[in-house]
Amino acid sequence: MNTSPWPTIAALHAWLTEQSPLPPEQQRLLRVLKLSEEVGEVAEAVIGATGQNPRKGHSHTWQDVESELCDVIITAMVALTTLTQDPAGTFESHLAGVARRSLGNDRATSGG
C-alpha cells in the first residue's frame, strides 16, 4: 500500500498551529529550528548504538536511530508545510532536480 504521508503531515501541522500561542512568524522559525533538536537526537542515538559514550555504554539501538531519523523527516515535512502552500509539489520538484543532477536524466525518471 503506497499512500502519501502529506495528509497526515497536514493534520499534524494544523494541530501544532492550533496549539501554539505564538504568532505565525515565530511558529515558522521555531519549526525550522526544531530540526536541529531532532538531528541532535539522531546523533545521540548513533553514539548510544555504537557505545561511544563510556559513561552510558550501549544506550540505544539501531532501531532507535531509525526512529529518530523518521522524526527528522516528519519535522522537516511539517516545517516545509509551514513555509509553502504546496509542500508536496515543492518537495517533488526539488527531489526531481536533485535526482537529475545526481543520477542523470534517464535514472532520475525511471526510478532505477
Instruction: Output the tens digit of pLDDT for each of the chain's 112 residues.
Output: 669 999 999 999 999 999 999 999 999 999 999 999 999 999 999 999 999 999 999 999 999 999 999 999 999 999 999 999 999 999 999 999 999 999 997 666 655 5
Task: Determine the pLDDT at residue 93.
Answer: 97
In a domain, 9, yes or no: no
Q: Is the residue at 74 inside a domain? A: yes
- The answer as to whether 80 is a domain residue is yes
Query: Would you say residue 8 lies in a domain?
Result: no
Question: What sign does the CA torsion over 70, 28, 100, 2 have?
Answer: positive
Q: Is residue 2 part of a domain?
A: no
Residue numbers of the domain that contains 88: 23-110
CA angle 68-46-67, nearest 5°? 20
15 domain-assigned: no
According to the model, what pLDDT value does residue 105 have?
A: 74
Q: Are 42 and 65 in contact (CB under 8 A)?
A: yes
pTM of the model: 0.88
The Cα 86–Cα 75 span in angstroms is 16
Q: Are 77 and 69 in contact (CB under 8 A)?
A: no
Query: What's residue 110's pLDDT?
Result: 57
**What is the tally of structural domains in the chain?**
1
CA–CA dist 36, 94 (Å, integer): 21
- Cell numbers for 83: 513555509
Q: Is residue 7 part of a domain?
A: no
Domain annotation covers residue 97:
yes
